Amino acid sequence: MTIKGPAIFLAQFAGDKEPFNTLENITKWAADLGYKGVQIPTWDSRMIDLKKASESKDYCDEIKGICKNNNIEISELSTHLQGQLVAVHPAYDIGFDQFAPSEVHNNPKSRQEWAVDQVKMAAKASRNLGIDVSVSFPGALLWPYIYSWPPRLPGLVEDGFKELSKRWTPILDVYEDNGVDLCYEAHASEDIHDGASWEMFLSAVNEHPRCNLLYDPSHFVLQQLDYLHYIDLYHDRIKMFHVKDAEFNSSGRNGVYGGYLDWRDRAGRFRSLGDGQVDFSSIFSKLTYYGFSGWAVLEWECAIKDSVQGAREGAPFIQNHIITVSQGAFDDFIDKSGDNREANKKILGIE
């Protein structure tokens, strides 16, 4: 099947100024650039009322109608920020409070309850929109202990993933009830950040059928992980795709653990499409080979280039990488029909 696209994630573009201030305006802007789909951040009320979308199919039809008038489809709903708050280590309480409404600030329990409700609503909203995939972050309880010094106590990692499973399994069950796959983005600062941690989580939730992956190669460039082999390993669970570029330029003073520096000065940094080191030709080929038929969605987070320029260049970049799946083999002109056993014996020299 052929990958759909190009689409664009609106999170980094939505704002208070035109054309980024309403769903109608921003979808027209996206369409004018050549995009065919938009991924909607559900925490941004300028784009969508998540509660209303979870309760009203009529409202969802209105939202779809706004997009359709601009020749745009809704590719997926995102709950990255809400999903992050499903599991927050106390070290990050103050920083992550900003992603939640003020009435739950300084109250981790209430903040978590709010986040869980939000992610569940996204499942129902996706169903009302006729969309069968959604993306989120898993949150993190173990991230402060990613480097094992001081040595981790025995069982710490196992207990962390058990708790993640306890929090996420009921949410995944809601996605099952609504016929929607929940795709986790493997990402630095999340307990799911690479293949090994993904396997731990998947095992903890007993291989839940709605537990799936969003594939974003940029995060693997920063980790120096083989992002092509990752597709070979986990293609059966990859249901979403962020097209984001990155580069890794280490030096004698700056490597993978360069996070104290500004983004522009790190060895690993995100770039606009075509400006980094990601081999997108091979990625699109592999995903197409394995039958991925979801959306190719631009996510812009470049440390250097302006976002509008990145968006303008991104649509044709993605379009030029989408592979129309062949309907036949190049040697179909050869007649392969009939019983060739006798001919094959002659070819092989068999009496």
C-alpha–C-alpha distance, residues 99 and 106, integer Å: 12
Nearest Cα neighbor of 236 from 290, 196, 194 is: 290
Mean pLDDT confidence for 25-43: 98
Q: In the chain, where do the E strands start and end?
A: 4-9, 37-41, 73-79, 133-136, 181-185, 211-215, 238-243, 245-248, 268-271, 295-298
Predicted pLDDT at 349: 92
Q: Count CA atoms closer than 13 A to 103's CA, side-chain side.
A: 3
The answer to whether residue 329 scores a pLDDT higher than 90 is: no
Q: Which residue type does 120 have? A: K
Predicted TM-score (pTM) of the model is 0.95
Number of domains in the chain: 1
* pLDDT of residue 245 exceeding 90: yes
How is residue 229 written in tokens? 């082999």
Q: Strands 245-248 and 268-271: what pairing?
A: antiparallel
Q: Is residue 157 very low, low, confident or very high in pLDDT (cuts 50, 70, 90)? A: very high
Does the pLDDT value for residue 328 go beyond 80?
A: no
- Counting every residue written for the chain, the total comes to 351
Q: What is the largest CA-CA distance in the chain?
A: 86
Mean pLDDT (whole number) for 78-97? 98
Instruction: Determine the pLDDT at residue 289.
Output: 97
Counting beta carbons within 10 angstroms of the beta carbon of residue 285, is it exposed (0 to 12), middle (13 to 18) or buried (19 or more)? middle
Q: Please say if the pLDDT value at position 337 is more than 90.
A: no
Whether residue 19 is predicted with pLDDT greater than 90 in this model: the reply is yes
Which tokens is 205 given?
């939730």
The band of 149, judged by pLDDT with boundaries at 50, 70 and 90, is very high
Residue 136: domain span: 4-348
Q: What is the mean pLDDT of the chain?
A: 96
CATH for 58:
3.20.20.150
pLDDT digits (tens, 9 = 90+) for 248-294: 999 999 999 888 999 999 999 999 999 999 999 999 999 999 999 99
Torsion of CA 206, 207, 211, 213, to 10 degrees: 130
Whether 126 and 77 have beta carbons less than 8 Å apart is answered as yes
Mean pLDDT over 134-159 rounds to 97
Report yes or no: 295 and 30 within 8 Å, Cβ to Cβ: no
Q: Look at residue 330 in the predicted model and tell me its pLDDT.
A: 75
- Partnered with residue 268 across adjacent β-strands are 248
DSSP letter (8 states) at residue 82: H
- Position of tokens 């709950």? 79
